[in-house]
Amino acid sequence: MNALENDKKKKENLINYWEPKRNNRLKYALMQSLYFAIPFSFVFQILESLDGFLSLKFAFKFLTIFCIYFLLTFYITYNIYEKKYQKIKNEKV
């Protein structure tokens, strides 16, 4: 596989990944934040102590991680993917 075929395949993969997700920005940001916040809040809680998963501290960790990642995803990641998508779509035209 040469470099041009590899580049074309990467662009097609980005289009296939991004087209279904770009229609609903809020849903995309919420789902990505959940996928990130759940495992990381568990890891941080395990590092602190094994008991306390039903405590207010755990809920605060989860909420903090979720909110920070939600804002990053909603305002930054979405725009990056959208710009890449638009650039690839304009090249094909």
Q: Which stretches of the chain drop beneath a pLDDT of 70?
A: 1, 93
pLDDT value at residue 12: 92
pTM of the model: 0.80
pLDDT value at residue 56: 85
Amino acid letter, residue 68:
I
Distances (CA, A) of 25 to 2, 77, 81: 35, 10, 11
pLDDT value at residue 93: 61
Structure-token match 């995803």, residue found: 73
Q: Say what angle helices 78-92 and 3-21 make with each other, to 10 degrees.
A: 120
pLDDT value at residue 83: 94
pLDDT value at residue 57: 83
Taking the C-alpha atoms of 7, 11, 12 and 16 in order, what is their torsion angle to the nearest 10 degrees?
150
pLDDT value at residue 1: 66
- Return the H-helix or E-strand segment holding 35: helix 25-48
